[in-house]
């Protein structure tokens, strides 16, 4: 069975491609490499002992995309390709809507043209916004995301629902990720942020390896266990396996049409201070930090209700916090300059 993976050279995409190959799916990656390196896929091929078809292209390029659907008999699309920096999305919102929303619409149009109906979308916990109480459940209404990036995820989920309403063949799954961290246990693939990392774990790892001076902890006065924000961190390999579970779910539900949403998280909230402590234990390094003001747009705490994914996808995030830290550290140590090293 051939799966088209847009954005498959990126962080979550590359780990998912590995899981797909390990589960005997054939993979075609379509990526414009705007935030990734082809080296990630070279390494995935080595780990899996299998080859990947790679096409460099933009999801907004419908002509090129259409050529891919002509060349391969694609059974399903897993759609990771997107811009994902929350702060940047506030500065250049039009690029985010163009890339994330218009790009997704282009992809769906080309899928429709080629009668490919199975679609798995990378959404985010950010769609619940600040209006909803934790834990977040799939039945909750969308909240107001705090950034154009978050809004782009809500918009694509809406596009999927409207498209499904108009087209009874469409079979969409939207996976709402909580906070993916960690790296493959081999230490050969992982997250390779360009420039100064925006997200917590890559920043902590770069402090540990001496690339950054100290961590800024954004606020210690939240109404949480220790005053810092709490998030639901999950191992990227568990997340990767969540995509395989979603594909299996689509395969097993041949009569399904419409859109189904699943939260992918652990169900536990962990504070920033607890992350720093866990990373120090795993790496045997001290992480110097200072407490700085709250970051605009951050919510105090959120985590997933994972019952639906556990019961219906038969999926669970099994890897421990310690393993997430150990694997992040191994990747950082072995690849201080990411895929450049």
- Between 11 and 163, CB nearer to ligand NAD: 11
Residue 276 CB contacts under 8 Å (≥ 6 apart), including other chains: 204, 215, 217, 287, 289
Q: How far is the CB of 254 from ligand NAD (least distance, A)?
A: 27
Give the C-alpha separation, 282 to 280, whole Å: 6
Known catalytic membership, residue 96: no
Binders of ligand NAD in range 37-76 (CB under 6 A): 58-60
Residues 175-194 that bind ligand NAD (CB under 6 A): 177, 179-180
- Name which of ligand UD1, ligand NAD, none residue 289 binds, using a CB cut-off of 5 to 8 Å depending on partner kind: none
Does 52 bind ligand UD1 (CB under 6 A)? Our answer is: no
- For the bound state, the minimum distance from the C-beta of residue 299 to ligand UD1, rounded and expressed in Å, comes to 6
Q: Which of 97, 149, 177, 222 is catalytic?
A: 149
In the set 200, 245, 259, 261, which binds ligand UD1 (CB under 6 A)? Answer: 200
Taking the least distance from each CB to ligand UD1, the nearer of 64 and 285 is: 285
Tokens matching residue 101? 């929303």
Phi-psi region of 144 (alpha: psi -120 to 50; beta: other; left: phi over 0): beta
C-alpha 234 chain-centroid distance: 10
C-alpha distances (whole Å) from 203 to each of 78, 158, 187, 336 are 28, 33, 17, 12
Q: Give the residue carrying structure tokens 């759609």.
A: 79
Q: Nearer Cβ to ligand UD1, position 184 or 231?
A: 231
| Residue 153 beta carbon to ligand NAD: minimum distance, rounded to whole angstroms | 7
Determine contact, residues 317/235, Cβ cutoff 8 Å: yes
> Is omega for the bond preceding 316 within 30 degrees of 0, making it cis?
no
Residue 295, classed as helix, strand or coil, is: coil
**Rounded Cα distance, 242 and 174, in Å:** 11
CB of 146 to ligand UD1, least distance (A): 5
| Footprint on this chain of ligand NAD (rule: CB under 6 A) | 6-7, 9-13, 31-36, 58-60, 80-84, 99, 103, 122, 124, 177, 179-180
| Footprint on this chain of ligand UD1 (rule: CB under 6 A) | 84, 86, 124, 126, 146-147, 150, 179, 198-200, 203, 215-218, 229, 231, 272, 295, 297-299
Which residues carry out catalysis? 149
């Amino acid at each position: 069975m051939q799966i088209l993976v847009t954005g498959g050279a990126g962080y979550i995409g590359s780990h998912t491609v590995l899981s797909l190959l390990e589960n005997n799916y054939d993979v075609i990656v379509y990526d414009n490499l705007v935030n990734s390196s082809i080296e990630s896929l070279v390494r995935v091929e080595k780990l899996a002992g299998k080859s990947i078809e790679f096409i460099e292209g933009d999801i907004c390029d419908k002509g090129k995309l259409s050529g891919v659907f002509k060349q391969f008999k694609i059974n399903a699309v897993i759609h990771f390709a997107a811009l994902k920096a929350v702060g940047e999305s506030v500065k250049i919102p039009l690029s985010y809507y163009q890339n994330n929303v218009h790009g997704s619409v282009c992809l769906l149009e080309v899928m429709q043209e080629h009668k490919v109906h199975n679609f798995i979308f990378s959404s985010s916990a950010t769609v619940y916004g600040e209006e909803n109480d934790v834990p977040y459940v799939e039945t909750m209404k969308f909240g107001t995301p705090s950034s154009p990036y978050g809004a782009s995820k809500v918009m694509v989920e809406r596009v999927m629902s409207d498209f499904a309403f108009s087209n009874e063949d469409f079979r969409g799954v939207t996976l709402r990720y909580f906070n993916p961290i960690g790296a493959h246990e081999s230490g050969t693939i992982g997250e390779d942020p360009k420039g100064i990392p925006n997200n917590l774990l890559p920043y902590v790892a770069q402090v540990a390896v001496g690339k950054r001076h100290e961590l800024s902890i954004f606020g210690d006065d939240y109404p949480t266990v220790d005053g810092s924000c709490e998030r639901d961190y999950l191992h990227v390999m568990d997340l990767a396996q969540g995509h395989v579970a979603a594909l299996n779910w689509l395969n097993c539900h041949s009569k399904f049409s419409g859109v189904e949403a699943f939260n992918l998280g652990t169900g536990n909230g962990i504070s920033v201070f607890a992350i720093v402590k866990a990373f120090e234990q795993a790496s045997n390094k001290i992480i110097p930090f200072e407490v700085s003001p709250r970051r605009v747009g951050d919510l105090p705490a959120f985590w997933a209700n994972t019952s639906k994914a556990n019961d219906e996808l038969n999926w669970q995030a099994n890897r421990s916090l310690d393993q997430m830290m150990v694997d992040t550290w191994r990747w950082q140590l072995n690849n201080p300059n990411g895929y450049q090293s």
